[in-house]
Chains A and B, each alone.
Chain A
């Protein structure tokens, strides 16, 4: 049995390949999360005319690791009135759901762990699970601030998932497939042939709903420090808090990845000719994610928080009818003008 045969046929070989694939995604992702926190703080600092982290390591580059180390070394405190099992389970759920969604994201042509037929539904399903971590945390903490945060979060995520769902439908109407690689391939070409242009309003709706899904400003009501101390994770400390923190950033990266796949042509280079096509697709993909993440931070640095009723109003009275209308328009255009896929 050759080595190649071992990895493709034997069950142990399969297992090793699988674990290797997982590591190949998770490790860079965690590094990316670490530096996302760093970039986040640097960007806010720049917006507020400060310098940001600059003490630990050159330009403060080791700051995220120092923070992480601090969280690991601290004591995990479980409040005496808390529901212990659920209290510990909640951060894990948040963190795990943020990671497993990556299984279907195509980094480059063929670079995907599970190239399933219903990739986009899988992504949507997993991203709708994130809310459980928050709700369970809020309930299990047995604290009113945490509970209020959890309730807000549940209402908010459910509301904005609806419009994300409609956005996904418009995209898959255009692409004619639920497979993420196929969706990227349907956008082959330069930046003018990606979906952000024909579906521009949907791109905006998607981005704003993504902010709400990840509980980022201006939709960070579940943890609004002015009213709820720290919202759903008020009672969390040390690594349990760390997992929430990691999960939140991993989710942001995930939704940016979704945005890149759905609207920004995935791994394709924006200018489809020689010098640009030499750069590997995975780099373009990472760059697109980075651009979206920059906008995330930029928003956080410049936009004030919404009030609860404004948030609900935007979700149900603006986005929902608008995206519904756009689905109808897209479907009609595809049917009438034959723009659809085959």
Chain B
């Protein structure tokens, strides 16, 4: 029974799968009334999964298909956190629009399961299955508000474009397999280290990267992002902007730093190009946006550009900067979406930037929180976002990517404009009609926690995060 050797390494995944099926049954038997119960049980299961992840030992399982190390554990905890927060934030929105059903938290749970499988992938086949598991569940959540034309359109667009990306990924994977003769990451690494690198394998690598870059919505595979972000129900957008990004990013890290590290010269150019284009396009295209969800879409494109830049360095420092960036990005984004989800007037969601006018006079605390998130995203010291960008730029410069780093810094200056514009609208424009009060308790808690993290928790207590990221990054360099 070689395949079952070390099977407990997948305990969080097995637990989540079992929990999802049980919760589905509970939901079916309790009907519409079960949504609240299922939702809180889902959050509880994600919490238990975090606990299980933390207790895992390191190693490979299932015939080397599955890998657990410090990096994967870190990323798993982050995506579980993101998914849990997304479920917590979704209730009031879906109740408001009248589609609060138990399937939603279960689907998020299943998507998270897919993310965990992706993160732990140690083989191209595991990678693909995890990716599909995650994507399938996410397509459905995007179209979850099925009576809204925009939501179904978002779901369909995401589905069609994402399928193309999956197709490219599979095509690339088959080329890699055809030329390297194995799909296992350690096997590929051994082959490439031995020095026989076929052109076909490099073409395959390009396609695999293209498929993965689509999932983090970096330029040139970003076209779907604004429409999907705008059309999907807002809590789903909140989920999209963090959890799948974390999973896909960690997948890119483990693919390029694992099996393809010997091909550094080849993928470095690609990633640098992706990073530069994303940061520029994310900054410029966001300038004209009026809808705050679309704005967040471009913001996430730009942010992913910075992360990819850190990875493109290809060094231990680079991977560390990726991990730190993802932690901070999670906090900033979740907080911003908690604010967006609280933007409702007389029980109707509003999502235009001008709706925020004069928020500082009506709801000073909420305005202050958003100010913190926006300044942090703009990279203004001493907020957390500044340290995220600083680490990325340092890693890029130390790896000799001077031009790319310079362009990215310039792009971040341009990008700062639209973040600051929101602050200006909130603090200096004439007050618009007030939002409904009080703010939902769930949202308030999320806002408070993330705002505190952005300032002062992270800037003051950096050491544990840095150490964690350092340990995660080290796994790729100390030989597993």
When A and B assemble into the complex, do they touch directly, with CB atoms less than 8 Å apart?
no
List residues of B whose CB falls within 8 A of some A CB: none
Residues of A within 8 A of B (CB): none
